[in-house]
Structure formats: structure tokens, C-alpha cells
Amino acid sequence: MVSNRVWRVAGRWLLTTIATAVIARWLRCALDEDRPRIRRAHATEEEVGLSASRYAQLMRYSPMMLVYRRIVRLAGQRLAAAGSDSVRPLRVLDVGCGPGTLAAAIAAAQPDATVLALDRSAAMLHAARRQHRTSRICLIQGDGAALPLREETVDLTVATLALHHWRDGEAVLREVRRVLPATGQMLLFDLRRDMALPLWLLMYLATQFLGKIMRLPGNEPAASVASAYTPAEAEWLAGRAGLRGVFARRGFAWLWLDGTRTRPD
């Protein structure tokens, strides 16, 4: 009798939580119609109090490792195509590299390429330096909106889960355009705000339960989803930055900005 009552209470609570999430999602989508297309950036991991070591630990055991493997594979294909036309060693730039997990994976898979890993956070770069003891990654502390690189000196730019953190996404993408040659490539992965409803509910429940269990600050991961772009917004932003050959591709819960600096003939 007691167990049946507990199950009924738990079931009602779960249905109430899901109904609340659905209504909140509907209201947010309705209000978004009147919002500007350039969205407010979400705080960085450092600003919400997530330590670099904690972030690195979360990434190591998260589905992002599957994304990193895909980017490493795609990076190899893009660099192979660029290598035939290049007269200098190929260069890859990871903007917002965090603890350097992706940069290290690309460096291991592409021994002939130079990998530049840039982040604003000194703590993140310290974590990268401690975890990936290799001279093949050049760690740079700097702002993506003012890249400390000369024009047309990077063959491939990558970024993961960084777009929704950038305070001025257009400025960062303009800098990416500046350092890429005409045939330079960009691969950017991020969450999408308009993800499918079942996945949005999963994020909501993850925030309510896993976020508290794992002591994630800043109402994560729901806060990152709310600050993310839609694929249409991201492609529009890339166009404003002058990346005419970059287009958005949609996933269930994510988006890719993928292509070349200039539109292919």
C-alpha cells in the first residue's frame, strides 16, 4: 500500500515537471520571436565557478568525446585536401580550446600539422599544459575577438561548445575569416536552442537532477541551451562576418558551422 502511494506521488510529480517544462519551452519560443537575432552570450565556465580541472573531468566522460573523434576525422580530410596546395606546414587553430582535449587529439592524429590552442582563461590553459605534455600544441592566452595571428596564416579553424559563450560572436567569426585564406576551412560545433522537444526535456531533467548531483553551477546544462543559437541564426551570423562559404548543418540537439571562407565556384 505504501509503495503504491509512493509510486503515485512520484508519477504525479514527474508529470507535473514535464508539463511545466513543456509550457516553459512554449513560452520561451513564443517570446523568442520578438528577440534580436544576436543573442546574449552565456557566461564562461570560469565565470560561473566551474574549475578548469572539473570541466576537463566532465568532458572526458561526456558524449563530447564522440564529437571530438568526428572532428579529428573531418580535420584529417580537410587538411589532406589543403596540404597539396600549401607551401608551408599546415596550421590548425582551436578557438576556445578549454583544457585542450580536442587540440591534443588533432595533434596526435596530424603529426605534420601545427596546432594552435587559444583560450581566454589562464586556468584552462594551465589544465591543458598539465594534462597534455607535448610540444606539438602551442597554447595561447587571448581573446577570440582579437586573434594574435597574421592574416591568412591558418588552414583550419575549429571550435566546440564555444559559440554560445562568445560575447560578440560576429567579432570572433570576423577574426576567423581574417586568419583563414580564401580556401581555409572552419568546423564549429555547438548546441542549438531549438533542439527537438524530447532532447530539450532531457536537458531540463538533467539540470534538475544531474546538475545538482554533479554540483554543476549556473543552472547547467539548461543555461547553455537557452543561450545557444538556432542553425538559421548561426548561419546568418557567419554571413555577416564574411564567411560566405560557411553553412549550418542541423543535428537533433546541435548545429555545425562548416565550410570555407569564401563560397566555392
The predicted structure's pLDDT at residue 178: 97
Q: What is the pLDDT of residues 127-168, one digit of tens each?
A: 888 888 777 899 999 999 999 999 999 999 999 999 998 989
For residue 214, what pLDDT band results from cuts at 50, 70 and 90?
A: low
For residue 3, what pLDDT band results from cuts at 50, 70 and 90?
A: low
For residue 200, what pLDDT band results from cuts at 50, 70 and 90?
A: confident
pTM of the model: 0.79
Exposure string of 224-255, with b = 16+ CB inside 10 Å and e = fewer, is bbbbbbbbebbbbbbeebebebbbbeeeebbb
**In order of start, what are the domains of the chain with their CATH numbers?**
36-260 (3.40.50.150)
Q: Which residues 6+ apart lie within 8 Å of 222 measured at CB?
A: 203, 204, 206, 207, 211
